[in-house]
Amino acid sequence: MSTAVDSPSAELAQDLDRFRALTALQQPTWPDPAALADVATRLGQAAPLVLPSEADTLRSRLAAASRGEAFVLQGGDCAEIFAEASATRIRNKIRTLLQMAVILTHGASTPIVKIGRLAGQYAKPRSSDDETRDGVTLPAYRGDMINGFEFTEQARRPDPQRLEQAYRISAATANVVRAFTHGGYADLRQVHEWNRGFMSNNPAYAQYERTAGEIDRAIRFMEACGADFDALRFVELYLSHEALVLDYERALTRVDARTGNAYDTSAHFLWIGERTRQLDGAHVEFLSRVANPIGVKLGPTTSPGDALALAARLNPDNAPGRLTFVARMGAGKVRDVLPGLVEKVTAEGVAVTWVTDPMHGNTITAANGYKTRRFADVLDEVQGFFEVHRGLGTVPGGLHMELTGDDVTEVLGGTEAIDEAGLARRYETLVDPRLNHQQSLETAFLVAEMLRAR
């Protein structure tokens, strides 16, 4: 494994900095440029959070998913919060992803590429730069990496010191992730332990226990046959976040000693959001310069020409696994918009992994003011995604979810039948609503059925 700690050469640094001459949307207005420059310098000398060799391995896994030889499961918080970066919270997210992966693997006999929205998802795009309450206007909350959620002038003032805090907490989170995934907790023989503490009479948990029992019997059979289970003792769990705050991403870009290529070492996988995917924008320019596998969110206004232009810009060598298109159309539009995109991209021979994000296109506001989603809409968009690919004979490559390992009440429906009044019971998100642990397992069981049909 290489340790890419080299600073870019002058020529490469100039290429990496070309984004600074372009329009960069969704960036904070830093009040003190000198303080930002100091922080960027320190981050530029900090240790990488991930290694380029790990990002290369993920690229090969994503390439397999594009061929139908694996399936991507990406999930985690809509926006991580500094105060919630505890080992227990991180464990709960990992446990949820592990359980979903087990359900998918067992149900569809398909390897699962596990990617967490972890250790860096501390910034979010906003529909407005400002927020007004009772006649007072302050900067919008853009995530803990930028400013505080409290509605005060001091908290909402963008502070570049938060970039360093995000780096430190991300580094600690990455260490906890590695401890859980390589320290015995992720051992498949612990499959029953991952469900401990939940009510077995709940339909999703009871179904999971039945699956765990079948896996347990299969493992005992293989042990009796003398099989070697070293591969069951740990899992690959990759880190990802939206590459939104370009000052942070640029500062953590390093050169791989093996190849001389630049990698954004803030995460294995970075994506460009629907609001920042302008072909002539700073985000597309910057990510075109790094060698990580990258994704682009495609909303319902995306044209086939847009998709092809983005692919040409971001993956000019047409390398499998380099580019993932994350469709976030909404349940009411996915069957109408997605076929034209997939058909055109496929006809042009573009190498891409298709993933569905059934969360962002289905956001509504409940009558009592809570920002929420209907679980039925989420599942309908996933179903539509699979239907489109089945109709075209193409590969549905993965699932991108906003979820938590906790029993929050932020999304309507599910077997718990959360209604609008129930949202108030445990609504904790500061930005977008997430599936809770039970709803996440329900989703995995339904997707496993779709994969079997595939």
CATH at residue 76 = 3.20.20.70
- Stronger pLDDT, 1 or 121, i.e. the higher one: 121
Q: Is residue 225 part of a domain?
A: no
Number of domains in the chain: 1
Segment holding 393, helix H or strand E: none
Distance CA 16, CA 8 (A): 9
Q: Is residue 46 part of a domain?
A: yes
Q: Which of 10-19, 23-32, 352-361 has the lowest mean pLDDT?
A: 10-19
Q: Is residue 21 part of a domain?
A: yes
Mean pLDDT, rounded, of the chain: 93
Q: Is residue 292 part of a domain?
A: yes
Closest C-alpha among 399, 406, 416 to residue 70: 399
pLDDT of residue 231: 64
**pLDDT(1) > 50:** no
Q: Is residue 214 part of a domain?
A: no
The burial of 187, by beta-carbon neighbours within 10 Å (0-12 exposed, 13-18 middle, 19 or more buried), is given as middle
pLDDT of residue 191: 79
Write out pLDDT tens, residues 148-187.
999 999 999 999 999 999 999 999 999 999 999 988 888 8
Write out pLDDT tens, residues 22-80.
999 999 999 999 999 999 999 999 999 999 999 999 999 999 999 999 999 999 999 99
Closest C-alpha among 1, 82, 19, 8 to residue 45: 8
Identify the domain containing residue 328 by its residue range: 10-186+234-453
- Stronger pLDDT, 211 or 420, i.e. the higher one: 420
Residues 6+ apart with CB under 8 A from 174: 49, 50, 118, 119, 239
pLDDT of residue 454: 78
pLDDT bin (cut points 50, 70, 90) of residue 2 is very low
| Token pair 């060598």 in the structure block, residue | 317
pLDDT of residue 198: 59
pLDDT bin (cut points 50, 70, 90) of residue 212 is confident
Write out pLDDT tens, residues 411-422.
999 988 999 999
Q: Is residue 192 part of a domain?
A: no
Closest C-alpha among 263, 351, 355 to residue 312: 351
Answer yes or no: pTM beyond 0.85: yes
pLDDT bin (cut points 50, 70, 90) of residue 8 is confident
Write out pLDDT tens, residues 252-294.
999 999 999 999 999 999 999 999 999 999 999 999 999 999 9
**pLDDT(295) > 70:** yes
State how beta strands 112-117 and 237-242 pair: parallel
**pLDDT(202) > 80:** no
Sign of the Cα torsion 264, 265, 268, 270 reads negative
Distance CA 308, CA 171 (A): 36
Q: Decide: 79 and 431 in contact? Cβ < 8 Å.
A: yes
Angstrom distances, CA of residue 358 to CA of 329, 385, 398, 434: 8, 9, 11, 11
Q: Is residue 385 part of a domain?
A: yes
Q: Is residue 341 part of a domain?
A: yes
The burial of 137, by beta-carbon neighbours within 10 Å (0-12 exposed, 13-18 middle, 19 or more buried), is given as exposed
Q: In 303-436, which ranges are continuous DSSP H helix?
A: 304-314, 334-347, 375-392
Residues 6+ apart with CB under 8 A from 12: 255, 262
pLDDT of residue 83: 95
48 half-sphere exposure, CB direction, 13 A CA radius: 24
